Chain A
């Protein structure tokens, strides 16, 4: 095999990998993701669907911790160290764009995806 052949083969493989990568990025963005941030830092990011069951998941921050469960794609906080318990009172979220925030613990739980029906929500 000549040096030129090897060059071509390597380029083709790299291009293919790029193609797969782009496909992966685009497809990933079409999914519904459960994103949890603690103290403003990413804590976890997992794809969810209407059949997802997860948890209880322990989410820690510098201020305290809480437990999140996912039941058939519906996300809620079941236990929290915060005083006001607003995160528990907020109940379930399941649609892209919805979120639960525990201000005292500085933890946010959001559902994100590209098929969102709003850019943001005023409250």
Chain B
């Protein structure tokens, strides 16, 4: 063969390989980050250009919000509000005001089932500091008097808890709220694909809005997956389960999700998943679904344009009708 042709062909192949490699790196090599914050592990996977920059922006946002909401950190705004309960109003940042307003909105939408003021009752059961005990009915009754959402007063950028010993706990909404902020960062930067798993609260994104993701729901009694959801980009998936934090006494399992109607751990279900278009809604609703039980949860999901997957103690799985065809039940 003519040498010039040979050289030309080799160079051509070589040059064609370079964009292939760049394409491969950009689209198939994902950036994987694991961050420990908000008392949980946050796993972030990003595909596409500017991965490092986006991951950095997300990490910064998480750390900022954690510094406001974390009630285990004595310097957080939430801790300051709790410390000054019954004493004086506290000036807080816009994000704290926004999340508190959203928490109140969720209280209204769930008929009082989702209540960030339940903290004194959780504390009584020992879920705050792992000193678990079953309180007396009188103690519970007493603690329930400190859970009135109207005692949480928001006045422009000041927050006040009316009674001493009242406290707020954003554990049931902070992760979802943070995911909403992460969504804003992602939509601004438009990477190819993102999967964020924030202690079990999931957000999925793809530049192609019709792209399907497979999201597993954890088996409540083993390490595997009990069902797989096929969901489009842009959805949030949050699950509340009795396996996350619980203690057992005389063969009875007491989980950390408290029913505000009787001040005791909820036991209608062992796992409740909410699929929503907004993170904070999903986070709050998975808790509300868990407390409400099968019938009322499915009803509520219909009313608020969310979807639910519910599992009872016999491992029966119930789900919103609109999920038919996009849910696959695995081994039980």
A positions within 8 Å CB-CB of B: 4-5, 7-8, 11-12, 14-15, 18, 22, 25, 37, 39-40, 84, 90-93, 95, 97-98, 100-101, 103, 106, 108, 117-123
Interface check B264, CB cutoff 8 A: no
- Decide if A103 touches B36 in the complex (CB within 8 Å): yes
Q: Which residue of A lies closest to B25 (CB)?
A: A25
Interface check B317, CB cutoff 8 A: no
Task: Report the separation of the CA atoms of residues A39 and B201 in the bound assembly, to the nearest whole angstrom.
Answer: 21
Residues of A within 8 A of B33 (CB): 40
**Known interface pairs A7-B7, A108-B34. Does A121 touch B14 (Cβ–Cβ under 8 Å)?**
no
- Decide if B273 touches A122 in the complex (CB within 8 Å): yes
Interface check B213, CB cutoff 8 A: yes
Instruction: Tell me which of B6, B11, B17, B239 contacts A122 (CB under 8 A).
Output: B239
Task: Report the separation of the CA atoms of residues A117 and B222 in the bound assembly, to the nearest whole angstrom.
Answer: 17
- Decide if B36 touches A123 in the complex (CB within 8 Å): no
**Known interface pairs A122-B200, A122-B201. Does A97 touch B216 (Cβ–Cβ under 8 Å)?**
yes
B positions within 8 Å CB-CB of A: 3, 6-7, 10-11, 13-14, 17, 21, 24, 33-36, 39-41, 43, 130, 195, 197, 199-202, 204, 213-218, 222-225, 228, 237-239, 241, 244, 273
Q: Which residue of B lies closest to A40 (CB)?
A: B34
- Decide if B197 touches A120 in the complex (CB within 8 Å): yes
- Decide if B217 touches A15 in the complex (CB within 8 Å): no
- Decide if A118 touches B228 in the complex (CB within 8 Å): yes
- Decide if B3 touches A4 in the complex (CB within 8 Å): yes
**Known interface pairs A8-B3, A40-B33, A122-B239. Does A117 touch B14 (Cβ–Cβ under 8 Å)?**
no
Task: Report the separation of the CA atoms of residues A93 and B217 in the bound assembly, to the nearest whole angstrom.
Answer: 16
- Decide if B34 touches A121 in the complex (CB within 8 Å): no
- Decide if A11 touches B11 in the complex (CB within 8 Å): yes
Task: Report the separation of the CA atoms of residues A8 and B224 in the bound assembly, to the nearest whole angstrom.
Answer: 54
- Decide if B224 touches A95 in the complex (CB within 8 Å): yes
- Decide if A103 touches B40 in the complex (CB within 8 Å): yes
Task: Report the separation of the CA atoms of residues A123 and B273 in the bound assembly, to the nearest whole angstrom.
Answer: 8
Q: Can you name 15 A-B pairs with beta carbons within 8 Å?
A: A5-B3, A18-B21, A25-B24, A91-B222, A98-B224, A103-B36, A117-B216, A118-B215, A119-B214, A120-B204, A120-B216, A121-B200, A122-B218, A123-B218, A123-B241
Task: Report the separation of the CA atoms of residues A92 and B224 in the bound assembly, to the nearest whole angstrom.
Answer: 10
Instruction: Tell me which of A11, A25, A91, A121 contacts B218 (CB under 8 A).
Output: A121
6 tightest A-B CB contacts, nearest first:
A123-B200, A123-B218, A118-B216, A121-B216, A122-B239, A11-B10
Q: How far is the CB of A56 from chain B (nearest CB, A)?
A: 20
**Known interface pairs A37-B34, A108-B41. Does A121 touch B10 (Cβ–Cβ under 8 Å)?**
no
Q: How far is the CB of B217 from chain A (nearest CB, A)?
A: 6
Residues of A within 8 A of B35 (CB): 40
Task: Report the separation of the CA atoms of residues A98 and B223 in the bound assembly, to the nearest whole angstrom.
Answer: 7
Instruction: Tell me which of B21, B223, B228, B237 contacts A93 (CB under 8 A).
Output: B223
Instruction: Tell me which of B3, B6, B36, B239 contacts A106 (CB under 8 A).
Output: B36
- Decide if A117 touches B214 in the complex (CB within 8 Å): yes
Q: How far is the CB of B50 from chain A (nearest CB, A)?
A: 20
Q: Which residue of B lies closest to A29 (CB)?
A: B28
Additional 11 contacts, C-beta under 8 A, given A8-B7, A97-B216, A119-B195: A11-B7, A12-B10, A18-B21, A91-B223, A97-B225, A101-B41, A103-B40, A103-B41, A108-B41, A117-B216, A122-B217
- Decide if B215 touches A4 in the complex (CB within 8 Å): no
Residues of B within 8 A of A22 (CB): 21, 24
Q: How far is the CB of A2 from chain B (nearest CB, A)?
A: 8
Task: Report the separation of the CA atoms of residues A121 and B197 in the bound assembly, to the nearest whole angstrom.
Answer: 8
Q: How far is the CB of B14 from chain A (nearest CB, A)?
A: 6
Residues of B within 8 A of A25 (CB): 24
Residues of B within 8 A of A120 (CB): 43, 195, 197, 202, 204, 213, 215-216
Task: Report the separation of the CA atoms of residues A22 and B17 in the bound assembly, to the nearest whole angstrom.
Answer: 10
- Decide if B39 touches A122 in the complex (CB within 8 Å): no
Q: How far is the CB of A31 from chain B (nearest CB, A)?
A: 15
Task: Report the separation of the CA atoms of residues A22 and B21 in the bound assembly, to the nearest whole angstrom.
Answer: 8
